Structure 1
Amino acid sequence: MKKILVSVLSLFVLLMMLFGLKNYFSTQTGSGVSSGKVLNLYNWGDYIDPALLKKFTRETGYKVSYETFDSNEAMYTKIKQGGTSYDLTIPSEYMLEKMKKENLLLPLDHSRLTGLKNYDDRFLNQIFDRGNKYSLPYFWGTLGILYNDKFVNAKDIKHWDDLWSTKFRNKIMLIDSARDVLGFTLMTQNKSVNTRSAADLAAAQGKLTTLMPNVKAIVADEIKMYMAQEEAAIAITYSGEAAEAMSNNSHLHYLVPSEGSNLWFDNIVMPRTAKHKDAAYAFLNFMNDPKNAAQNAEYIGYATPNKKAFQMLPKAIRTDQQFYPNAKVVERLQVYDDLGRKWTEKYNDAFLEFKMTQR
């Protein structure tokens, strides 16, 4: 009898362990949960206020399974492979266009969306998604120049061409992005950031090579940390990254050259493999709420496309033209197109050849 009791107890413990493990794996972020009241969210690193995820769960009952990526390309590859069913993800404009062409996205049912009227019309109906059939804007911003006034005089760094000055030998950090680095180089030659001209691209690559003596490093997300720690005098980076660095070092300043730059949009979309559509729409509506959008914008540092959220931001943020440039500046900004596989590879190859010349 004792042996039977021990066996029964052992079986009970084993079943409890199995149930516990199942429950454990179903509640971890990044696990791609496929059952229950769950939202599988695939986002950039540090790109939402964690307090908002907790608030969303409290208000709706949906637990957020959260996973991050570090590039549009990494996100695209995982979505295309289809191994994990994400309910929402956040591509930039050119990647959204690519995913749309490859039938990787579900159209949004606008009848299930609230708060669409909260958005600034300037950031809706963009060329990469007319009528916002597949996406809602999440954040927008610019590519620009971040500099430290301890090492750089403001009058010496107003234009992209100024980066080539001999004053800046071994003083510049570049963002590790072919489109961005070749893009600002193309602008110095009055060319489109979306050129599909072999001659234009070759000329830009040639000019870019002459910038290498001024390049201290080519880095990714850590650029904001390095600039805050004064590891370099100048960095080419995104407005939100600049804002975070500036919050940690009062000597840092950000500018968008008057000749123009990149205007980028990150957008929330629903992958075709999404399994929790009710949760996805609940989250979209939650983030459309001006209070939540304003809280997120303050936490992240990027510009919100939600006009009612913008009105709730502190005056110091609303009037800061480094991050909310006026209409005249916005008119000179260029949005990246999806170049297609052939030209994407050409840009990547040109940038790789440039990087190989680094000391």
Structure 2
Amino acid sequence: MIKKIFAFLMLIIIAANGQTFELIKFDENYYHKYKGENLSINVYNWGEYISDGSEGSLNVNKAFEELTGIKVNYSTFASNEEMYIKLKVGGIQYDIIIPSDYMIERLIRENLVRKLNFNNIPAYTNISKRFTNLPFDPTGEYSVPYTWGVTGIIYNRQLVDEDEKDIDWKILFDEKYKGQILMYYNPRDAFGVAEAYLGYSLNTSNEMQLRECAKILKQQKPLVQSYVMDEIYDKMESGEASIGVYYAGDSLSMIESNPDLNFVIPEKGANLFVDSICIPSSSAYPELAEMYINFLSEPEIALANIEFINYASPNDGAIDIMNSKIKNNKIIYPEQRILDNCEVYITLPDESNILMEDLWNEILSNDSTYKGWTIPVSLGIIVLLCIVIIVLRKMRKRDN
């Protein structure tokens, strides 16, 4: 009787973003494998990057918990670099992370993520071949694509008088908009803007070109109102800033809140990013993590996430059941001629990463337009964590 009631609940119609769909009849033999064992996994993801039950959406983590009996401890990060430091330092053991392309390549190289057992991820067959075996994971053994998209410029049509066709990367360096420009807070994306503006590869490791990018970013600095990540939502939606640079999917959320906003992917090209799901090498429960990956790869679940976060889906099963309005949205799914000019980040050589980070810190030093306190405080926290870990280990040894 209990099983029948549960199966019935799994077929309830759930509202999501004004639309309805029927949850799939999940494979009980697969998803109930660990039910009743009081297990949990730690998931580390970008902020606002999963359907969470708000505004009538499906609460994906809650649905997974109810289906499997596995508790999801969920936390978020604001940048790939923040996630990397947390993973590198240790202390918290994550079972799922969702980094971007270039960071995945770095994690593979440093043995910080493990190979996946695809026998435990049968829903992987829904992933489009176009998004498998990409340069950051050429063998396709370490990651499962979650979303993809492009970067571009979001601007307020009431505050910017250029025609849409004339909006290009150069507008972010135009003195006319001094104090009204928002820039990325992380070095890779900020340098990517400068590289696109100068016509360089977004993966250049040429020292002269990187220094040239740093030079124009430093020249741009007096024009920048603030260096931001998720803070861009409030600033653009409220009209506090006129122009920003961000990810296509997020722009739709801002446009929905403020119809005066518009988003443009510059003709010169932009970054095409792919965020994928990985399992850290330190995971205590890789099989549970693979079950979670499988759940996120189910077409209906993938669609719920895409409808909530407005990014493009690499999941063919989700696209098959997607409504035409989303499928034909040129911001989410740009024309091929635009994509042909876009470039996926790859991991740069260590010396290039170090140079870029040093130049970026130099650009931001003594600057009131970014949250400068976060760097020393973050470093202090990291040092403190290391000390605590060392002390705890010594205490354990004494107790033994």
Q: Which has the larger radius of gyration?
A: 1
Query: Aligned pair 1:225/2:237, yes or no?
Result: no
Instruction: Please give the secondary structure, in 1, of the residue aligned with 2:211.
Output: helix
Asked if 2 retains the 8 angstrom alpha-carbon contact of 1:119 and 1:305, the reply is yes
Question: How far apart are 1:294 and its partner, in Å?
Answer: 0.4
Question: How far apart are 1:154 and its partner, in Å?
Answer: 4.6
| C-alpha distance in structure 1 between counterparts of 2:175 and 2:203, whole Å | 29
The structure 2 residue matched to 1:202, chosen from 211, 215, 231, is: 211
Unaligned segments of structure 1, at least 5 residues = 1-34
Residue in structure 2 matched with residue 45 of structure 1 by the alignment: 47
Asked if 1 retains the 8 angstrom alpha-carbon contact of 2:44 and 2:96, the reply is yes
| C-alpha distance in structure 1 between counterparts of 2:127 and 2:338, whole Å | 20
TM score, norm. by length of structure 2: 0.77
The structure 2 residue matched to 1:149, chosen from 126, 148, 157, is: 157
Residue in structure 1 matched with residue 352 of structure 2 by the alignment: 343
Question: How far apart are 1:71 and its partner, in Å?
Answer: 2.0
Name the aligned partner's letter for residue 44 of structure 1: W
Name the aligned partner's letter for residue 40 of structure 1: N
Alpha carbon RMSD of aligned pairs, Å? 1.9
Does 283-292 or 152-161 show the bigger shift?
152-161
Percent identity of paired positions between Structure 1 and Structure 2? 33
| C-alpha distance in structure 2 between counterparts of 1:82 and 1:215, whole Å | 35
Map 1:82-97 → 2, pairs under 5 A: 82-97=90-105
Query: Aligned pair 1:299/2:301, yes or no?
Result: no
Question: How far apart are 1:53 and its partner, in Å?
Answer: 0.7
Asked if 1 retains the 8 angstrom alpha-carbon contact of 2:205 and 2:349, the reply is no
Instruction: Assess, with a 3 A threshold, how the Cα gap between structure 1 residues 249 and 130 changes in structure 2: closer, same or farther.
Output: same
The structure 1 residue matched to 2:147, chosen from 139, 152, 175, is: 139
Question: How far apart are 1:210 and its partner, in Å?
Answer: 3.0
Spell out, residue by residue over 1:92-145, the C-alpha distance to the aligned partner (whole angstroms, 9 max, x if none).
111111111111111011222112231222211100101310000111111110
Query: Aligned pair 1:56/2:69, yes or no?
Result: no
TM score, norm. by length of structure 1: 0.85
4+ aligned runs moved over 6 Å, structure 1: none
| C-alpha distance in structure 2 between counterparts of 1:124 and 1:336, whole Å | 15
The structure 1 residue matched to 2:323, chosen from 294, 298, 314, is: 314
| C-alpha distance in structure 2 between counterparts of 1:317 and 1:190, whole Å | 32
Question: How far apart are 1:357 and its partner, in Å?
Answer: 7.7
Instruction: Assess, with a 3 A threshold, how the Cα gap between structure 1 residues 86 and 209 changes in structure 2: closer, same or farther.
Output: closer
| C-alpha distance in structure 2 between counterparts of 1:311 and 1:150, whole Å | 37
Instruction: Please give the secondary structure, in 2, of the residue aligned with 1:267.
Output: strand
Name the aligned partner's letter for residue 232 of structure 1: A
How many residue pairs match? The answer is 325
| C-alpha distance in structure 2 between counterparts of 1:108 and 1:146, whole Å | 37
Asked if 2 retains the 8 angstrom alpha-carbon contact of 1:209 and 1:357, the reply is no
